[in-house]
Amino acid sequence: MIRAVAILALCALAHAGTVLSDSSLLIIKTPKYTVTSPDGAQLASKSLDVGVAGPTVTLGGRDILKLTFTVSETKEDKGVQPHQTFLRLFDPVSGEEGIVPVRVTPNGKAKVEINMNKPPSGLPPTVAAQPLRADLLLGSFVHGPTTLPLFDIVMPASGTAPASPEESTYHPLPEIVHTFRPEQKLPVTALSGLFALAVLAPWPILLFLWSQAGMKTPFLGSPSVVPFTACLAAFEVLLLWYWVALRLGHVLLYGAILTPFTAFAGKTALMAVQERRLGAVRK
Rounded average pLDDT per 10-residue block, the chain, 283 residues: 45 41 71 90 88 83 91 80 91 88 91 89 82 90 87 83 76 86 85 88 86 71 87 92 89 94 92 81 66
Do 100 and 87 touch, CB atoms closer than 8 A? yes
Backbone angles phi, psi at 73, to 5 degrees: -85, -40
Do 135 and 150 touch, CB atoms closer than 8 A? yes
Q: How far apart are CA 29 and CA 24, in angstroms?
A: 15
- The pLDDT of residue 161 is 62
Mutual orientation of helices 189-200 and 202-213 as an angle, nearest 10°?
Answer: 20
Q: Which of 136, 150, 139, 137 is nearest to 33 (CA)?
A: 150
Sign of CA dihedral 49, 54, 58, 63: positive
Looking only at the bridges linking them, the beta strands covering 97-101 and 84-90 are antiparallel
Q: How far apart are CA 206 and CA 209, in angstroms?
A: 5
Q: What is the pLDDT of residues 40-58, one digit of tens each?
A: 888 988 998 877 778 889 8
- The pLDDT of residue 217 is 67
Q: Which of 66, 98, 75, 99 is nearest to 85 (CA)?
A: 99
pTM listed for this prediction: 0.49
Q: How far apart are CA 110 and CA 103, in angstroms?
A: 6
- The pLDDT of residue 210 is 79
Q: How far apart are CA 115 and CA 133, in angstroms?
A: 17
CATH topology of domain 2-157: Immunoglobulin-like (2.60.40)
Q: Classify residue 126 by burial, with Cβ atoms within 10 Å: 0-12, 13-18, 19+.
A: buried
Distances (CA, A) of 105 to 25, 80, 186: 18, 8, 87
- The pLDDT of residue 280 is 67
Domain with CATH 2.60.40.10 in the chain: 2-157
Backbone angles phi, psi at 151, to 5 degrees: -165, 175
Query: How far out from the chain centre does Cα 244 lie?
Result: 44
Helices (H), the chain: 2-20, 189-200, 202-213, 226-244, 248-282
Distances (CA, A) of 129 to 19, 107, 132, 159: 43, 37, 10, 14
Do 11 and 26 touch, CB atoms closer than 8 A? no
Do 87 and 102 touch, CB atoms closer than 8 A? yes
Q: How far apart are CA 232 and CA 140, in angstroms?
A: 87
Q: Which of 124, 125, 44, 41 is nearest to 87 (CA)?
A: 124
Sign of CA dihedral 195, 196, 199, 200: negative
